[in-house]
Amino acid sequence: MALVSMDANASDSFVDVRSVDPTIIVELRYAGRNNLLGQPLYPYGTRGLARREVVLGLAKAQAFLRRYQYCLKIWDAYRPVAVQAKLWEASHNSDYVADPETGAGSLHSWGIAVDATLVDAWNNPVGMPSDFDDFTPAAMWRYVGPSPEVRAHVRLLQNAMLRAGFWGSRTEWWHYTIAHWQKYVPAEKAKSAGKTLATHWEGLL
Ligand SMILES: [Zn+2]
């Protein structure tokens, strides 16, 4: 297991997702132009990093999904505070994007949240409720659209992630936080983050 030392909120070790399970697809959307800013926010070659517990959980979810001929694809994992600040500046929408200056900021910046979707076993896209960073009702956890296929896919992803020890987000079907996130965030910051993470389905991008 490769350890990478990061200058993050907490100076702890982060683990490369693919060093634990190379079958997980990592396609960081902020490393290219296909994101809400239309420009790369991460340097070329940025890897998907997260806390060890998070990465082990992802490997668990992947093992579950592979039984159904699906595969986990990671859109984002550890996100530096500087990148969070750019996203906040671009959107200023606190319904979806966490203000890096408020409370714990984004739980991505602590290495304890990931954005994930499904692909098939050959890395082909499958029908999901919306694209990444779609700040519309289509991004809600509870899919209410007409496609039984999309419903089955999003439920399979949710099921895999919940079994692997993650919580989902009410407003973003792709966003998952490790259930024991509080142990990674200093108590005084966790308190204010707790207000936005009051239920299993709450949480900001
Ligand atoms: Zn997220």
Domain residues for 81? 3-196
Q: How confident is the model over 95-114, as pLDDT tens digits?
A: 778 888 887 888 999 999 99
Domain assignment of residue 126, yes or no: yes
Cα(170) to centroid of ligand 1, in Å?
12
Cα(144)–Cα(15) distance, integer angstroms: 36
Cα(107) to centroid of ligand 1, in Å?
8
Cα(174) to centroid of ligand 1, in Å?
7
Cα(20)–Cα(18) distance, integer angstroms: 5
Residue 65: HSE in the Cβ half-sphere, 13 Å Cα cutoff: 33
Amino acid at 81: V
Cα(78) to centroid of ligand 1, in Å?
10
HEC per residue, 138-171: HHCCCCCCCCHHHHHHHHHHHHHHHHCCEECCCC
Q: How confident is the model over 39-61, as pLDDT tens digits?
A: 999 998 999 999 999 999 999 99
Cα(3)–Cα(11) distance, integer angstroms: 13
**Would you say 74 and 58 are in contact if contact means Cβ atoms under 8 Å apart?**
yes
Cα(108) to centroid of ligand 1, in Å?
6
- CATH code for position 40: 3.30.1380.10
- Look at the chain and report how many structural domains it folds into: 1
Cα(98) to centroid of ligand 1, in Å?
10
Please list all protein residues whose beta carbon sits less than 5 angstroms from ligand 1, which is an ion: 115, 175, 205
pTM (two decimals): 0.88
Domain assignment of residue 202, yes or no: no
